[in-house]
Amino acid sequence: MMNLNYTAFFLISFIPLIIAAIWYNPKSPIVKWAGIEGLSGLKWWQVLLAFGLSFTLVYGYINLVIHQVGFYELFFTDIMLGKVESQQVVDEFLAKYRHKHRHFGHGVFHGVINAFVFGIPFVGFHAFVEKKPMRYVWAHLGYWLVTSILISAFISEFV
């Protein structure tokens, strides 16, 4: 059985909000350099929505960062149907490889990959459609890189 640390998962969900508050602060040099609007005057429901999106992002990253989750998911349906041999395969695998690649550095590696795989297409497409300058892309990609690295590293180490 996969035992995840749900408290850490919940706390890691605050990382994108904290980084955004720093990165997109109206007084931030990044905001001034890129010519983007900073975050100011958010309403309570906007913060709640942002946290919900953060929570969803972190949940998705768990599947990308923790390789053992993917292995467990292969047998999940059989385990839920009560097939003992599937549970035995998973238990043997996890007994041997439960902690493989579960460290901060491996999370950083996946954070960089995830930032470029997801950050560049989304930010780049938005900038292309809106005809934004390249520094707009760099400013937002920097946010995604920092956020993605921290999320992935903390997931790998603590979840």
Angle between helical axes of 84-97 and 67-80 (0-180°, round to 10): 160
Q: Which tens digits make up the pLDDT trace of 57-110?
A: 999 998 889 888 888 888 888 888 888 888 889 888 888 887 787 889 999 999
DSSP run (H or E) holding 38: none
CA 32: distance to chain centroid?
26
- Extents of the domains making up the chain: 6-66+102-158, 68-101
At 2 the pLDDT is 67
pTM of the model: 0.85
Over pLDDT 90: what percentage of the chain? 42
Query: Contact, 147 vs 19, CB < 8 A?
Result: yes
Query: Contact, 86 vs 37, CB < 8 A?
Result: no
